[in-house]
Structure formats: structure tokens, C-alpha cells
A and B are shown apart, each in its own frame.
Chain A
Amino acid sequence: MNISLFIAFYNDTLFPETGIAVVHVLERLGQTVDFSRAQTCCGQMHYNSGYQSEALPLMRKFIETFRNAEAVCIPSGSCVAMIREQYPRIAAETGDRKLAAEVNALLPRVYEFTELLVNKLGIEDVGAFYPHRVTYHASCHSLRGLHIGDIPLRLLRNVRGLELVELPEWDQCCGFGGTFAIKNAQTSAAMLADKMKNIISTGAQVCTAGDNSCLMHIFGGLHREQANVKTIHIAEILASTENASIENASTEETSAQKVSTRKGSRA
């Protein structure tokens, strides 16, 4: 099947290794992957912050880019939630029936990365190898927006060498919330402190999720606290194999910075 990637600008800019991992996983599973360089952003940041009129052109751009896609794969639960929940509303508000019809036609072909693997491709074992103790953080948008359930956990349970440990209070928000982390920085940090306490209590070496936005937030707190836990997108775990761990798969320049290797850098 031909799969079109929507990477989202922040993954593109800040977490290129996630997109690279998605490409590796899908190609390893025999899929064809394309990436249209015209893509930028789904509009979530604007929409959720109250700049709703600015989200409309970004929605149009998304539709234009992916109109003919067989399947759109997005390694970000919050982008998919934005597209599924808000695009029909934005289109309806314009009163443009053609636009609304185009949104409705495209939506069934839009998948969050782990949804695509399990629900569309019917694969729960992607042949990955990742010999680490891992805990999974359910992002609010994937949990309550996409109702993704245990899909990511099913994929992780099939990874060779991976020891999955349950995160206490796994359904609680990490406190990111986009501009919330800036506007209400102290409250956000208090929420993050609870999340970090729970992550550290698992004894996991790695905290994973389907959203780099949560992980950027959790990483930021863990690194500041000099905690010895890495954060890594689930696609990067699924891309790791006995032959090629994700560090080898991505280029040297883009390989993830790991908390463990940076420990004490602020001392």
C-alpha cells in the first residue's frame, strides 16, 4: 500500500528521528512511503489557542496535499485528533459544502501511526528488538480523542527484549497542553512533577509515547531533574531491530539526545 506521511512541523524540525523511524518501520513491512514537501502544520496550535480563523488555510493546505492519498500516516495523536474532531467543524463553519465533502472523504484515510499498523495493516508484531525496561505514557489526545485503547501496548508487547512496565496514573495529563505550558507554566510544571514521579517509580529506563509534544515536555523535566530515564517516540522503538538500532538507523546528526548521556550537564 502507498502511505503518505504527515510529519507535522515540530517533528520535522525538532524530532526528525521520529519521521525517519516511521519510514523505516513502514518500509520494513513492505509498504511504499511518500512525503510531500508542501506540508507544514495541521493548524492545531492556532485552533486550540483561539486563533481559529488561521487554522482554515492550514486545513485547506492539508486537504490539498493529501486529497489523493491512499492512506495518511501521522506519528502524532494530537494532530490526528485535531484533524478528526475539528476539521469537520471548521469546514461546516465556512458553509462551503464542497470543502465539507472533501474533509469527509479524506478523514477515513487518516491514521495515527500505531492505528495504521494495527487497524489498517493488521500487524501487531513489527519484528522489533529493543532490550530495555519501558513505560508507556498515553497522550490525552490519543487516549480520549482517538480512543486508541491498548493499540500501542499491543505493539510494544510484541517487541523482543522489551520489558513493559505500567505507568501509575497512566491516564493523567503530563501538563503540556500546547500554549498551556507557557501561559500557565507553574501549574503545568506541577502536573509534570507528578508525571515524573510516576515515571521514575516504575524503574523504567525509557518512557515512550505516540506524541513528541508530551515527550518534549517530559524530557524537559526529567533532564532538568537529572533523572536517568530516556524519552523516545514509539516509532523509534518499533524501528529498532537486532541488526539496526534506531541510533544506527538515523543519521548521526539527528540521533536523539539521551538524558543518560547528558546527566549532570548543568552541574
Chain B
Amino acid sequence: MTVRIGWSATAPDFQDAAKVSLGNTQLRHNVKYATDVIRAKRAKVVGEMPDWEQLRQASGDIKAHTMRHLDRYLLQFEENMTRAGGQVHWARDADEANQIVRSLIAQYGGKEIIKVKTMTSDEVQLNRDLEAHGITPYETDLADMILQLSQDKPSHIVVPALHKNRFEVREIFKEKMHLPELGDQPTDLTDAARHYLRQKFLTVKIGFSGANFAVAETGSLVVVESEGNGRMCLTLPDVLISLVGIEKIVPTFQDLEVFLQTLPRSATGERMNPYTSIWTGVTPGDGPHAVHVVLLDNGRTEVHADPIGRQTLHCIRCAACLNACPVYRQTGGHAYGSVYQGPIGAILTPQLQSMEHSQSLPYASSLCGACYEVCPVKINIPEVLIHLRGKVVREKRRHLSGKLDPENLGMQAMTYIFADAKRLEAAQRMARTAQWPFVHKDMITKLPGMLAGWTAARDLRPIPKQSFRQWWRKRERKPNA
């Protein structure tokens, strides 16, 4: 089995990729502007809910319950979806998922598909696989279409082209749609997109989607969206194929009541999203006459097996944690080198790949806790980040090079010093002396090695001549001092 999460296996470390993003002032401006707008909208519609905390708790509880009985609910979903006329396929990993989708398209003699926005297809790199086999996928979500036309990568889970502003989008459309006279107003751009897409909606015979929820009780799939392109893709084609992560299950139809309140408010700051499509198998004479569901594992059962990491699978992909994250807001999403960015990406991406890749991501956080505060399913992201850092350190220390890593040596030295206050006092005296080569005019402005990062932008006050414990000792000797 080969788990693959987008291009993350070959992506550079976060700290290196972040340097590139931080140097792009236009990108940083776009990201800050967009996240500020969504954050403000979210705060407003969440603030008006008197039972928001109960809704969060209920969302988290339903997910935790589902994860405890995931095997049972998955089989129940399969049974009910099949009974309703759908066909269920199981994919262990990215390659298997792509192969199943490809052979289904071939089975119906298709050469093109129209796609609803789906992160899961980015995860398995479906488009690349289809194109390599002569099948053309058309992204119909406006942002995904922008990315596809410009051969760019998503930088946000909900608003994947958030790093581009409308002037940049106009340039892409002008070139790719051959529209030299295109204006830069939002209506100009959506008009252009509508003309381009309408023809696809009316002619392409195979639709493709992910799902926000898969209801075990009824065998239904649910897609929540804003643009109406999803509704077109889900209803117009003859054939519908949906790629769904196994964690998308909810036990009952009534559970949707909770998530359809928490998801739109958290994701786009809307009380209700414009389009919610729910389908259960096949209905003769209405919509696609062939409905397929590919249930994807791709590392999820590994995550499920970890008692602390498991909560990561509760995620409903609202991206509230991205918008709230002060790190994401500085760097944007590309620095994460993953289809899943921000705080949730920092815990999901490495875990799905059994910590073999993206090991820098658990460190891409100041542990400020803003992500946990806004998470509508109460995933304790800082807790998982710390847990994953522990895994990275344990793995690193299995090898000599990791044992000799300056950070590990520093931590071991601190462990030795902190074990005994006498050692701490000796270390304080030593550090006070050792710092003098770096002190100029009562300030440290340049440090070597690992600490150079600090002094690149910050000064450091030197260690004062007297520690607190020295002051206390003097005072004990002279109680009235």
C-alpha cells in the first residue's frame, strides 16, 4: 500500500517554503485581506448563536462516537447505498482510488468529467492520473477552475485560490479563455466563468464529486457548496462518481442538523450555505442513472489507531482554523506543501503518511490555541501538534545523527541542569560569563548557530548580574534589606 497525500512527499520543509511566501508581499496582502473578511463574517454569525458551544460539543461528540464504531457505520452505509441503487467501491490508497475511478470512466466510455470541488481528489492527485490516461477533468468550482487554468496549487481548504486577487484572476482568464477585453469587476469574471462552464455542464456525461457527509442510516451523500456548480455536476450528468474519505460518515440523517449549522458558519461565515445537495442512490428519471461511491482509506485507519491523533479525523474541512491561525495568515497555504494547509493540515498531512513525510509541519505553530478555539468539532489541535512533535523526536533519536542534533543535545543539557538546582545555579554563572563575547552596549544583537534566527530580527537582553535566587539568598541573610 502506498499512501500519497498530494505532492507532500516531495515538498520542501515548512520553514524553507515559508521564507518564499513571506517574501511575496502581494500574496501576504491577499491572504491577510481574505482571512480577515472570513474571520469577521464567522465571528458575527457564530456570535449570534446562543447555543454555539453546545453545537460544537455535539458535533465533536457525534464524530467521536462515529469513530468508535466506524467499521459498523461504514458497512451500514454500504448496505443502504447499495439498496438504493448505488455501487460502493473500497480504495485502500491513492493509486487504488485513481484506478477505480479511471476504470469506471472507461466503463461508461467517457473521455471527460466535470468536477465538484473536492479536496480528496487533490489528495490522490486524480487530475494528474486522469490526464496521463487521456481523460480530461474540468474543475467547475470557480477557485479550482482558476487553479486548474493557471496550473497552480490550492492554498486554502475552502477558498483554494485565496492567494490570488481578482486582478490576477482576470489575467488568467484573459489568457486561457482568450478574452482580451475582459474587465476586472467580479461580475465580469463570473460571467466569463459561467460562459466557459455552461457548455461543460450541458455536454459532459460524467460528474465527479467528493462529499461533506455520508449518512450511514440512509446511504445518502451530502455536498455543501456556494456556487451552484455542484448542483449542476450532481444532477445533469448520466453518471456520478464520488470519492469519499471513510471519516466522512455520520450515523443518522438527524445528525446533519448539527453539522449543517456548524459547517457553513465556520467555513464561509454564512448562516446557511446556498446549495445543499443530498442524494441517495439512483432515482429513475431524475438525475444520474448510475451512481458510484469510492470509499477511500489512504492512511486514515492508521490515524484512527492512534488514540490522541484520532480526533484529527473529526475534521469537517471548514478551514476556520486556517483563517484563525496567525502562522497561516502570514505565510498562506503553499508553505505547508500539502492539499491540507494550516493547523489541520499540519496534523493531518504527516499522520496520514505515518509521519514519513511533512515532519516539519507539527512545528509550524506557535501553539497559540486559536485553532482549537474556533474548531466547530473541538479538535484539540495543539494537543495533537505536541503529540506529533513527540513522535518526530522519538523517531529522530533512534539514529545517531538525531542524537547528535544540536536541538537534542541542548534539550539533554537542559534536562541535566534542571534535575538539580545546584547545577542550575552553576549554569547561570557560566552563561553569565559565556555571553560576554556577544554583548555590545548592554545588548545581544547577534548570536551564532540555531539562535541566529532570533537575532535576525530581535535583540536580547543579556543575563543580569544577579539571579532571583541570589537576591532571595541575600535577603534571607539580611531580612530587612
Contacts and interface: CB of A to CB of B under 8 A. Distances in A.
A184 B471 contact: no
Contact of A187 (B22, B418, B441): B22
Given A48-B389, A173-B370, A251-B466, A189 B456 contact: yes
Interface in A251-267: 251, 253-254, 257, 262, 265-266
A254 B466 contact: yes
B241 to A, nearest CB: 39
Nearest to A188: B366
B472 interface: yes
Interface stretch (B163-171, B194-202, B260-268, B323-331): B323-331
Contacts of B418: 9, 40-41, 43, 58, 61
A54 B459 contact: no
Contacts of B471: 16, 19-20, 250-251, 254
A48 B451 CA distance: 18
Interface stretch (A31-39, A126-134, A199-207): A31-39
A19 to B, nearest CB: 4
Contacts of A46: 411, 414-415
Contacts of A38: 421
B421 A144 contact: no
Given A12-B469, A190-B330, A50 B22 contact: no
Task: Identify whether the interface residues of B are mostly helix, strand, loop, or mixed.
Answer: helix
Contacts, number: 211
Contacts of B419: 40, 57, 61
Nearest to B470: A16
Contact of B468 (A7, A185, A217): A7
Interface in A116-168: 140-141, 143-145
A49 interface: yes
Given A186-B22, A265-B442, A45 B414 contact: yes
A76 to B, nearest CB: 12
Contacts of A12: 424, 428, 467-469
A172 B36 CA distance: 13
Given A185-B456, A187-B18, A16 B392 contact: no
A62 to B, nearest CB: 10
A177 B461 CA distance: 18
B364 interface: yes
Given A41-B418, A58-B418, A224 B459 contact: yes
B469 A35 contact: yes
A145 B367 CA distance: 10
Contacts of B393: 49-51
Given A13-B463, A220-B460, A262 B442 contact: yes
Nearest to A143: B369
A49 B392 CA distance: 10
A51 B367 contact: no
Contact of A144 (B14, B373, B414, B459): B373
A192 interface: yes
A170 to B, nearest CB: 13
Contacts of B392: 50
Contacts of A19: 468, 471-472
A52 B467 contact: no
A244 interface: no
A72 B392 CA distance: 34
A207 to B, nearest CB: 15
Nearest to A89: B383
Interface string A41-70: 101011111111010011001000000000
Nearest to B432: A13
A224 B14 CA distance: 26
Contact of B464 (A16, A61, A172, A221): A16
Contacts of A184: 14-15, 18, 327, 363-364
B454 A185 contact: yes
Contacts of B372: 144
Contacts of B389: 48-50
A40 B366 contact: no
A223 interface: yes
B431 interface: yes
Contacts of A221: 457-458
A105 interface: no
B11 interface: no
Given A177-B368, A223-B443, A47 B461 contact: no
A180 B14 CA distance: 12
A120 B419 CA distance: 31
B374 to A, nearest CB: 11
Contacts of A45: 411, 414
Contacts of A57: 415, 419
Interface string B351-366: 0000000000011111
Contacts of A35: 468-469, 472
A267 B369 CA distance: 38
Interface in B360-410: 362-370, 372-373, 386, 389-394, 407
A216 interface: yes
A175 B454 CA distance: 11
A52 B390 contact: yes
Contacts of A11: 468
B305 interface: no
Given A9-B418, A40-B420, A224-B445, 9 more contacts: A14-B464, A49-B393, A51-B390, A173-B326, A179-B407, A184-B18, A192-B458, A219-B461, A220-B458
Q: Which 3 A-B pairs have the closest CB atoms?
A: A177-B366, A185-B453, A220-B458
19 contacts: A9-B424, A11-B468, A13-B431, A20-B471, A45-B414, A51-B390, A52-B390, A144-B368, A172-B370, A173-B370, A177-B367, A183-B15, A186-B19, A189-B457, A191-B327, A194-B326, A217-B458, A254-B464, A254-B466
